[in-house]
Amino acid sequence: MTKTRVAVDVGGTFTDVCIMDEQSGQIRIEKTPSTPDDPMRAIMTGVSDANVDLADVTMFSHGTTVATNALITRKLPRVAMVCTEGFRDVVEIRRSNKEDLWDTYKDVAKPYIPRRDRLTVKERVDAAGKVLQKLDEEDARRVATILKRRGVQAIAVCFINSYVNNENEVRMRAILREIMPDVHISISSDIMPEIFEHERFSTTMVNAAVSPVVVDYVSRLGDKLEAGGYQRDLLLLHSGGGVMTPASVKDFAARLAGSGIAAGAIASRFIGNLCGYENSIGFDMGGTSTDVSLTYRGEATVTKDWYIEYGYPIRFPSIEVLTIGAGGGSLAWKDEGGSLRNGPQSAGANPGPACYSNGNEVATNTDANVVLGRLGRSLAGGDITLDPALAEAAVRATVAEPFGMELHEAAEAIIDVANANMANAVRLLSISRGHDPRDFALVAFGGAGALHGAAVAKELSIPVVIVPPNPGVTSAMGCLLVDIQHDFSDSFMADASTTSAEDLEAAFSKIEEEAIERLRHEGVSPENTVLQRSVEMMYQGQWRSLAVSAPSKIIDTQDLVNSFHNEHEREYNFRREDAPVSIFRVGVKATGVVQKAELPSFEVVQHTPEPTGTRDVWFKGEKRQASTYDRAQMKAGAEFAGPAIVEQVDSTVVVPPEATAKVDQYLNILIRVGA
């Protein structure tokens, strides 16, 4: 009996299902239109259309946008916060900063919990962890009774300085559970036991806000899969690049807020490493947006500075992904200054680009690619028919006539603006972080990534573009390449010069015990448990820290200080050997290793593939005759030159003039765009 692994990635336009045969490593795919009103409907449709017998599935992994969409649309249940008296407005005061400093009329969004539902109790712990005032239990019961009467579904408990002593928070949770046993409760000392009260309060608030939504979704999906015969845990991809089971989702729901975009970054890292590139840039262009990620020395970059809405940070570690509104469905438009713009507005899945014949008359990137001949007459294996006449009409009305351009000139202008926007996103994640794009490969995937990848790479002098075998479902494949993973941290504020190795070992031992227990709870055996340490440090007087790896046994803290100097120089281009260094935080990444199926490798036989035909394609104002190829017929070792178009079920690959391409042993297409 064939055993399979299934991964599902829900996008704004399509839901992708990736099915891998455990024995052979062969992958097959299924794409189905997303159903934003109920993502589960598209998931089950995709599984059914792919003829997957859930009884034969050994792993079902899922990247979900449920938490992200709930926060963006603010379709949240009623949530409350219980704070120390006097600290009710921490999440509203924030850092008193704005996303756009020069726009005096643009306000930061309101907190997810309105002021009327942020109540206070009498309690106080000082900065050293000493209890100055025990929780006033009569006051606590009064607050719990009010919240029960209001019918709140989740509560965030955020007490000042609870990160050093959570005695009062734990007692408040017990009282709330006694009076409201069915309510989701998040306490800040569990969610984010760190200094900086706004970041801690905000993360706890977000966690509480999405808990009812996420837990309900995960529970219903788990029931559906179980009814279909699936007998294992449903695995949910989280922002840090690992997966978690429903048991952990109940406590750390906000970790799923970055779930959907992490899958592509994971797959990009894997493919780059597979092709021999430890440094790679993930370029995931879908129907609505483009996600850019970066892998350096074989590891994806991780950040704690992220949010869904500006002003409300989520401090769980997350793979750093920059998302911009540039996709196949991004709309072209003319701004008030008379300039051509592209996105972030999108035609979405419905009505979609004009060429979809669903009523949209505004030109999109997809329409421009149809006009230029880069896209054929259909997508998704013929499920979507493209009408060139409607694409031409949209490009004429939206750009050609308003700007006085010829049709193909207008279409190229639309694509050029989109490519410039995406190139700028790559610069922000590479050059602004101290990385030279010329030292990286660009992994282009998503439904539209292979259409634009070569042009973006040429703009940035990136020498090679890697196009995976199934670009349109590469993000879904990323869900098959992950382990169970959790991140733990604790404040450790001390001078590095006076901190002993024994002090750090004691701090690590405490959180490693918690990490091992969490993995044990998720069914991970000791032999499959891997713990990786890190220490966050800063020059004294700074408030931003940098993380460096720490050994499993710390012998000398000076080695950590030297690593910090080196990392600071790489990130900021300077170091201060004479400046004192402070330790800010210790962290542990706990990984439960999951057995992974290997992708098949094929014998490389150098040859020139046979084109399926030719067609006219426009490049830089010139009509060129491009060879067309069927990706399904391409074998390892195939080599060909541009201009060329490679067509497949889930994507289209553009190889521009003067570029060359070859197919490696894993059936990736490597496009060389220049030295």
The predicted pLDDT at position 343 comes to 85
| Domain CATH for 224 | 3.30.420.40
Same domain? 54 vs 87: no
| Domain CATH for 80 | 3.40.50
Same domain? 588 vs 630: no
Longest dimension (CA), the chain: 81
Tens digit of each residue's pLDDT (9 = 90 or more) over 415-456: 999 999 999 999 999 998 889 999 999 999 988 999 999 999
The predicted pLDDT at position 666 comes to 93
The Cα angle at residue 459 between residues 397 and 290, in degrees rounded to 5: 65
CB atoms near residue 220 (< 10 Å): 12
Same domain? 209 vs 221: no
Last residue of a domain, one of 226, 259, 292: 259
The predicted pLDDT at position 232 comes to 84
The predicted pLDDT at position 283 comes to 95
In a domain, 543, yes or no: yes
Same domain? 87 vs 164: yes
Cα–Cα distances in angstroms (integers) from residue 288 to residues 309, 323, 342, 346, in the given order: 18, 10, 12, 6
Cα gap 590→527, rounded to integer Å? 13
| Res. 102: pLDDT tops 70 | yes
Tens digit of each residue's pLDDT (9 = 90 or more) over 159-189: 999 999 999 999 999 999 999 999 999 999 9
pLDDT tier, 38 (very low <50, low <70, confident <90, very high otherwise): confident
Same domain? 533 vs 575: yes
Same domain? 524 vs 574: yes
Q: How many domains does the chain have?
A: 4
Beta strands in 117-179 (DSSP E): 118-121, 124-125, 131-133, 154-158
Same domain? 523 vs 552: yes
Query: In terms of Cα–Cα distance, which of 592, 489, 595, 598 is closest to 245?
Result: 592
pLDDT tier, 381 (very low <50, low <70, confident <90, very high otherwise): low
| Res. 1: pLDDT tops 70 | no
Same domain? 194 vs 78: yes
The predicted pLDDT at position 380 comes to 61
Same domain? 153 vs 136: yes
In a domain, 424, yes or no: no
3-state secondary structure 358-375: CCCCCCEHHHHHHHCCCC
Mean pLDDT score of the chain, rounded to an integer? 90
Q: Is the separation of the CB atoms in 296 and 435 below 8 Å? A: yes
Q: Is the separation of the CB atoms in 272 and 441 below 8 Å? A: yes
In a domain, 19, yes or no: yes
The Cα angle at residue 561 between residues 280 and 193, in degrees rounded to 5: 80
Domain that holds residue 635: 613-672
| Domain CATH for 547 | 3.30.1490
In a domain, 621, yes or no: yes
Same domain? 90 vs 210: yes
Same domain? 8 vs 140: no
In a domain, 505, yes or no: yes
CB-neighbour burial class of residue 206 (10 A; exposed 0-12, middle 13-18, buried 19+): buried
Task: Name 622's Cβ contacts closer than 8 Å, sequence gap at least 6.
Answer: none
In a domain, 514, yes or no: yes
In a domain, 545, yes or no: yes
With pLDDT > 90 as the criterion, what percentage of the chain qualifies?
56
Last residue of a domain, one of 214, 248, 267: 214
Tokens of 465: 């573009």
The predicted pLDDT at position 389 comes to 94
Cα gap 319→321, rounded to integer Å? 6
The predicted pLDDT at position 12 comes to 66
Segment (H or E) for 222: helix 197-227
- Taking residues 503-512, what's their average pLDDT? 92
Last residue of a domain, one of 562, 592, 622: 592
| Res. 83: pLDDT tops 90 | yes
Same domain? 23 vs 101: no
With pLDDT > 70 as the criterion, what percentage of the chain qualifies?
98
